[in-house]
Structure 1
Amino acid sequence: MRSLPRVSPVAGATVLHCDDLAVATYTHRTDRPDRAAMPVASVTGAARPYLHPVRTLGGVTVTELRPSDHPHHLGVSMAVPDVAGTTFPGVNFWGGRTYVRDLGPVELDNHGTQEHTGWLLRDPDGCVQELSWSRRGRELLRERRTISALALTDRAWALDFTSALTNVSGEDLSVGSPATNGRPGAGYGGFFWRAPRPGPDEPAPDVFTGAAAGEEAVHGRSADWLVLAGRDWSLLFCGGNTETRADPWFVRTTEYPGVGSSLAWERRLPLPAGGTTARRVVTVVADGRLDRPAAAALARRAVTA
């Protein structure tokens, strides 16, 4: 195993370490005055914190930031395309265009911002953060986000990502997706990991669960864990609580490599005034390619660690 490069502190960012190795950089500030340095420019909207780069213990980068095919994809983030109350379409915390029923994807001025408001804990191996989800000064949601890095083996570590969203808008809200707005199969929204596109001579990553394999077989289905495996890396996504394990996985391998846990696959997720919904995804970041037995064993270990 080669040592990862030491990462210098960056304003507005937190470097996560696993033992003595820097394994991820978390850009948590979205309110910096330098537009070029902000997580997302206004043209793609939905400024939000993100993790990038995320690396294996062997030094392989397994995230991608602002790729040309989807410039609003930001490494690992919590991204929701539609938070609505009495007004439709809702606020877009995903970025890019908004899918409108009977119209399709439309460029709208409806982007929201996730703003870091404070730390409850900030250590080299993790943090507990509070964020405000707002649109033009109106706060809709408050989030408590917990992110931590945990060593598992000499070839794998786990990124534990928990998000608890509380409706503070004063009215009932709901979370939607392009699927709930009329685009079949596009139920994305929630935890999302954009993986790196393979090289020109490499095949698309493989994807499998304990019971199925291939994008068509796993996309839109629930599973306790799911593996996305590139040429020399594997990402093992595990549902860390009951609600997350019930959510279908949103999976792409051929168009681009990415995996998300869907909050609103077929129907909108209601968020009553004052209510809270929480999701936990534990991702094992591994060198090499995992098979099913190894993935199942690591999933059990990662979720209970």
Structure 2
Amino acid sequence: MRAEPTVLRLGDQVVAEYAWRPDLPGTTSPRPYLHPVRTMAGTVVTALRPVSHLHHLGVSIAVADIDGHNFWGSRTFVEGHGPAWLHNHGTQEHVRWAQRTPTRLRHSLRWMSIDREQLLTERRTWSARPIDADSWALTCDFALTNSTGRALRIQSPAAVGRAGAGFGGFFWQAPAGLGECRVTAATGNGPEAVHGCRSPWLAVSAAADERSWWTLVFIAATPATRDDPWFLRTRDYLGVGSSLSWDSPLMLQPGATMARRIVIAVADGILSRDRAAALSAEFAT
């Protein structure tokens, strides 16, 4: 049953809304998501279900293939065949709240297959804190535990032959903006310097209108997170992800837990490369 979103708030300002029990079609692989996320000036920096990709849900945790089950939505990439519609869409379900305050949302979830097998349990936390007058930090912590009696194969479409499609894990669907966006990271400038690469941070800036810009700085805040490649797409849509699997599957053993932390600086205007690097140093552990 759908529930009203809960919010993250800094002072009197709502900076993000969390749909923790949404009403979504099964083909989206229903899951909780953040949308809208706003800058301090109120500019929306997330997109929900764009026409070309109806399964993209603001900011969420989504995985294309867990032991043959689709927790990403839409078609499944089948090795030797290509994208196919399969009856295999899973669901992420809220279990209980551990904390719900204006600046911190912490809850437990279960990842259920279409035939109601519980594959994973999860602890997830979203938190907000101010940085300065023009920016604030959103932190995403999640820990996934294998609740089956077998090893689970977690993989992206790239792991089964779709070149460059290394998505799966944390994913941010951003508005397309006006014109080309600006991309920079510790590994260089431009999408080709980021996509599929490991970098402690990456920054994306785009025009909200003719007079204003926004910037998102994605920070891999733990050693395990920094070992994950970045997925970046600027053609057709603007999406940024931290990938749990790229060229090869990630195997999660029975009872094992993997944890990741990503901090996103949400800013009005264009942040310099030096400022993005300084934020990374501030928030990394």
List aligned pairs for 1:266-277, cutoff 5 A: 266-277=247-258
* CA apart distance, 1:271: 0.4
1:224 matched to 2:203: no
Q: Which of 4, 16, 37 is 1:12 aligned to?
A: 4
**Is the contact between residue 204 and residue 254 of structure 1 (CA under 8 Å) also seen in structure 2?**
no
1:169 aligned partner, one-letter code: T
For 2:223, give the aligned amino acid: T
| Alignment length (residue pairs) | 278
Give the corresponding residue for 2:238: 257
The aligned counterpart of 2:210 is none
Question: Percent of aligned pairs with the same residue?
Answer: 49
Pair 1:159-2:138 in alignment = yes
2:196 equivalent to 1:215: no
Distance in structure 2 (CA, Å) of the matches to 1:57 and 1:301 = 20
Q: Deviations over 1:37-78 (max 9, x none)?
A: x1x312x33000000000000110000000001000000000
Q: Distance in 1 between matches of 2:86 and 2:269?
A: 42
Q: Which residue of 1 aligns with 2:121?
A: 142
Match of residue 57 from structure 1 = 40
Residue 118 (structure 1) aligned with residue 96 (structure 2):
yes
Unaligned runs of 5+ in 1: 1-9, 31-37, 85-89
1:106 maps onto 2:84 in alignment:
yes
| 2-structure distance, mates of 1:298, 1:93 | 31
Residue 272 of structure 1 aligns with an amino acid whose one-letter code is Q
> What is the aligned partner in structure 1 of residue 147 from structure 2?
168
Amino acid at match of 1:79: A
* Residue in structure 2 matched with residue 79 of structure 1 by the alignment: 62
State how far apart, in whole Å, the 2-side matches of 1:192 and 1:268 are: 18
User: Is 2:28–2:54's contact at 8 Å kept on the other side of the alignment?
Assistant: no
Report the Cα distance in structure 1 between the residues aligned to 2:128 and 2:222, rounded to whole angstroms.
18
Deviation >4 Å, runs of 4+: none
Amino acid at match of 2:276: A
Work out whether residues 204 and 257 of structure 1, in 8 Å CA contact, stay in contact via their aligned partners in 2: no
After superposition, the CA RMSD in angstroms is: 1.2
Q: TM-score normalized by structure 1?
A: 0.89
Which letter does structure 2 place at the counterpart of 1:98?
T
| Aligned counterpart in structure 2 of residue 299 of structure 1, from 275, 280, 283 | 280
Q: Which moved more, 1:95-104 or 1:167-176?
A: 167-176
Match of 1:66 among 32, 38, 49: 49
Q: One-letter code of the match for 1:274? A: G
Distance 1:11 1:115 in 2: 12
TM-score w.r.t. the length of structure 2 is: 0.95
Indicate the SS of the match to 2:157. coil
Contact 2:187-2:193 at 8 Å conserved across structures: no
**Counterpart pick for 1:191 among 165, 170, 181:** 170
Which residue matches 1:281?
262
Following the alignment from structure 1 to structure 2, what is the Cα–Cα distance between the partners of residues 240 and 230?
23
Q: What secondary structure, in the 3-state scheme, does the structure 1 residue paired with 2:277 have? A: helix
Whole-Å Cα distance in 1 between the matches of residues 153 and 140 of structure 2? 22
